[in-house]
Amino acid sequence: MNPFRKTKTLACTYLTIMGSLLMSFHAFAQTKEDSVLMTIGGEKVTVSEVMSLYRKNSIKGTVLNKKSFEEYLELFLNYKLKIRQANDLKMDTALAFKNEFQYYRSQLAQPYMTDEEMSNLLTREAYQRKLKDVRASHILVKLDINASPEDTLAAYNKIVSIRERILKGEDFGKVAAEVSDDISARDQKDGTKIIPGNKGDLGYFTVFDMVYPFETAAYNTGVGKVSIPVRTDFGYHLVKVTNIKPAIGEVLASHILFQFDNEPSHADSLAVKIRVDSIFAKVKKGEDFAMLARNFSDDRITAPRGGLLPWFGSNRMVPEIIEAVDGLKPGQYSQPFLSSYGWHILKVIERKPIGNYEDIKDVLRQKVTRGDRLEALNQSFVEKLKKSYGYKADLKALDKVAAALNDSVFAGKWKIPSPKKLTKYLFSFDGKTYTQLDLANYIETTQTPKNKFDKKQYASIRFNSFVNKELLDYEDKHLEIKYPEFRDLLQEYHDGLLVYALTDMNVWSRADADTTGLRLFYEQNKNNYMGEARLDASVFTVFNSTRIDKVRGMVLKGSSEEEILKSYNSDTTKVVTIEHHQYLRGESPLIDLIDWKEGLSRNVDTDGTTTFVMVHNVIPPMPKALRDIRGTVVADYQNYLEKSWMNGLRKKYPCYINKDVLALIQKELK
């Protein structure tokens, strides 16, 4: 078992060892924080070190007093003793520890490795967009993300010419069906059935529903306007915004659907409309909507559920449904409306509004830092690092690296042909200089198979990737120097991980696995686990009052319980019942009423029956069996191991407290 991966919060377990004291520290007026309060195994510990963890883990509003300070000091001593032993054992050199510590470091470093200002800006932008739903259409000209400059220019010229056609008056939907590389714009044949194309209409959507550049174009283009060409990973787009309206949030609704054929005759259309109007009249009269949906809806999936649709936002339903719920409050229903599926009547059941910024900003921030905005966020941080570290580059020197490439790089098998020719300066920052060969080595060691494209473009992409990596790595390695609070927090996690692993090895896992030691501990302390006195007794219940004395007589004569039951009971008649148990006080009202001594008790009459007890034995208190209380014994054994371990550590690493400094501290405490 890996003691360093016990739980995600294991380090915090020891970072908060003093937290339960619930105190707040006020700086001592007379005691200097650089004064030595104690020595542990020859190592000096100052007042500031003792109080640093305390300050971070205490809770404001309570007062530190002499008693609580003594409790805290005891915990601190034990903590430092464990760290000392872990360091002497060089536990932080173990691979498992290094991996776990690196994991925590990467988590702690994240807030320092991002552009916080940009993150806040994107989060606020996401909230403002979430308040609106956009309906838009698009035309796509496909283009590979790694397309050559020539292909990129050709695709750009094509999308520009398409835009000019639309600006001159051609219908956007008609042009989309004709030229868009998004095939959903055109009619599709499914067997003998024709599925109508959407003519580029994407329906309604909101923030995070589309890739970021496309989303930005949609929110920044006015209603009825056509955007300039927008580049995404899919190619070039033109975006026409049809509508922008307040967001519907999340909606729970039911509907009744009336379907019709793709190309219905006039008579068929009229028949469906008559049916729609008939059911809508019932809705208006107040008849149960769910029952009407079960009986009349053509949606076979939702009809059995009373027409109930799943919770939906603007991107989950056809535009007509999104528009139908506008202005409807829970309990209200729409007028009949038509969509590509047929006629609908919709009733709103419940609504969840967007909420205010403070309520959802953390969720938005997570999406901002994990989605396709992450690239923009990272690049913004890199640009700040470039400025901070005085980044400079000679992009002309990149041409020689590109010239050294051949098609084998697209198979992931390229080797540097002439290293001695790649010695020129390429870029630098903060006194570090990189040459063409540094980039070539990076390409050689990180290349992966991919489709062929322009080698100059490939070299440029890898160059940017290399620069970003070096800047980010450099920043990461200097976090402890730049940010003392990060360094201190990291040290606390380092120590917390060590203490957890050492305690697990010496106490927790040992107590659970050391069955021999646990048994010995139990035997030596079993009188601490005494059970209560018990009564070994048989309870006789007689349902026929004329038989009471005879049953008691048989009991006194020593007749067996089987004989008594056989004498008075038959398949059709039950005169007496017997229950034989070992009873604790409080388990049975009857047992609590009688005297706890061997022999036959008095009669107790209850609800037409008579009960008496034959006490066979009064069992005195005795230790509970280990199997019955193992969890309790293991916990006590852990405490025993902890105390024994600490006593050993105090002998190995003598602890001395500076009484003069302690006296000054105590003088200022209540």
What's the CATH number where 634 sits?
1.10.4030
Residue 593 domain-assigned? Answer: yes
Helix (H), strand (E) at residue 116: helix 116-130
Can you list the alpha helix ranges (DSSP code H) found in 389-478? Answer: 398-404, 436-446, 455-477
Q: What is the pLDDT of residue 85?
A: 96
Q: What is the pLDDT of residue 9?
A: 43
Helix (H), strand (E) at residue 132: strand 132-142
> Is pLDDT of 191 > 90?
no
Mean pLDDT, residues 75-87: 94
Q: What is the DSSP letter of 227?
A: P
Q: What is the pLDDT of residue 666?
A: 81
Same domain, yes or no: 271 and 343:
yes
Question: Where is the domain boundary, 329, 353, 377?
Answer: 353
Can you list the alpha helix ranges (DSSP code H) found in 297-435? Answer: 319-324, 357-370, 374-388, 398-404
> Is pLDDT of 668 > 80?
no
| Nearest Cα to Cα of residue 130 among 403, 405, 357 | 357
The pLDDT confidence band at residue 11, using thresholds 50, 70 and 90, is: very low
Residues in the chain: 670
Residue 457 CB coordination number (10 Å): 15
Question: Where is the domain boundary, 246, 269, 288?
Answer: 246
The pLDDT confidence band at residue 59, using thresholds 50, 70 and 90, is: low
Cα 391 vs. chain centroid, distance in angstroms?
A: 38
The secondary structure of 183-206 as a DSSP string is GGGS-EEETTEEE---TTEEEEE-
Lowest-pLDDT range, 11-15, 476-480, 528-532? 11-15
> Is pLDDT of 606 > 50?
yes
Residue 341 domain-assigned? Answer: yes
Same domain, yes or no: 193 and 335:
no
Residue 18 domain-assigned? Answer: yes
Same domain, yes or no: 18 and 34:
yes
Q: Which of 43-47, 278-282, 368-372 has the highest mean pLDDT?
A: 278-282
Q: What is the pLDDT of residue 1?
A: 45
Cα 327 vs. chain centroid, distance in angstroms?
A: 35
* DSSP bridge partners of 231: 236
Q: What are phi and psi of 182, to 5 degrees?
A: -85, 105
Is residue 496 within 8 Å of residue 114, measured between CB atoms?
no
Q: Is 254 helix (H, G, I), strand (E, B) or coil?
A: strand
Q: What is the DSSP letter of 89?
A: T
Measured distance CA(538)–CA(580) in Å, rounded: 4
> Is pLDDT of 518 > 60?
yes
> Is pLDDT of 21 > 60?
no
Same domain, yes or no: 504 and 404:
no
Q: What is the pLDDT of residue 24?
A: 38
Mean pLDDT, residues 262-275: 81
How many domains is the chain partitioned into structurally?
Answer: 5
Mean pLDDT, residues 215-224: 97
Give this prediction's pTM.
0.73
Residue 119 domain-assigned? Answer: no
Residue 102 domain-assigned? Answer: no
> Is pLDDT of 328 > 50?
yes
> Is pLDDT of 264 > 80?
no
Mean pLDDT, residues 125-138: 97
Q: What is the pLDDT of residue 58?
A: 62
Measured distance CA(639)–CA(625) in Å, rounded: 20
Q: What is the pLDDT of residue 82?
A: 96
Sequence-distant (≥ 6) Cβ neighbours of residue 112 within 8 angstroms = 479, 482, 483, 486
Residue 370 domain-assigned? Answer: no
Measured distance CA(628)–CA(620) in Å, rounded: 18
Lowest-pLDDT range, 65-69, 469-473, 475-479? 65-69
Same domain, yes or no: 255 and 296:
yes
| Nearest Cα to Cα of residue 168 among 178, 160, 180, 177 | 160
| Nearest Cα to Cα of residue 76 among 36, 38, 30 | 38
Tokens of 284: 């208006």
Residue 332 domain-assigned? Answer: yes
For 158-187, the pLDDT digits (tens) are: 999 999 999 999 999 999 999 999 999 999
The pLDDT confidence band at residue 29, using thresholds 50, 70 and 90, is: very low
| Nearest Cα to Cα of residue 550 among 586, 522, 575 | 575
| Nearest Cα to Cα of residue 138 among 86, 189, 199, 81 | 199
Same domain, yes or no: 256 and 339:
yes
Same domain, yes or no: 517 and 589:
no
258-290 CB burial, b ≥16 within 10 A, e <16: bebeeeeeeeeeeebeeebeebbebbeeeeebb
For 610-621, the pLDDT digits (tens) are: 999 999 999 999
Measured distance CA(158)–CA(177) in Å, rounded: 16
Same domain, yes or no: 659 and 511:
yes
> Is pLDDT of 261 > 80?
no
Find where tokens 């306007």 sit: 225
Same domain, yes or no: 509 and 641:
yes
Mean pLDDT, residues 480-502: 94
Same domain, yes or no: 575 and 604:
yes
Question: Where is the domain boundary, 246, 274, 306?
Answer: 246
Q: Is 530 helix (H, G, I), strand (E, B) or coil?
A: strand
3-state secondary structure 271-287: HHHHHHHHHHHHHHCCC
Find where tokens 């922008």 sit: 244
Q: Which domain holds residue 414?
A: 389-479
Mean pLDDT, residues 477-490: 94
Q: What is the pLDDT of residue 370?
A: 85
Q: What is the pLDDT of residue 656?
A: 93
Q: What is the pLDDT of residue 34?
A: 83
| Nearest Cα to Cα of residue 395 among 449, 456, 450, 330 | 456
Measured distance CA(626)–CA(633) in Å, rounded: 8
* Mean predicted lDDT score pLDDT of the chain: 91
Residue 440 domain-assigned? Answer: yes
Mean pLDDT, residues 410-437: 96
Mean pLDDT, residues 24-28: 43
Q: What is the pLDDT of residue 22?
A: 33
Same domain, yes or no: 633 and 521:
yes
Tokens of 271: 């028949």
Measured distance CA(430)–CA(670) in Å, rounded: 53
Same domain, yes or no: 519 and 634:
yes
CATH of the domain at 308: 3.10.50.40
Q: What is the pLDDT of residue 383?
A: 96
Tokens of 473: 């790595």
Q: What is the percent of the chain where pLDDT is above 70? A: 93
3-state secondary structure 286-318: CCCHHHHHHHHCCCCCCHHHCCECCCECCCCCC
Is residue 302 within 8 Å of residue 255, measured between CB atoms?
yes
Mean pLDDT, residues 234-252: 97
Sign of the torsion formed by the C-alpha atoms of 475, 481, 485 and 486: positive
CATH of the domain at 582: 3.10.50
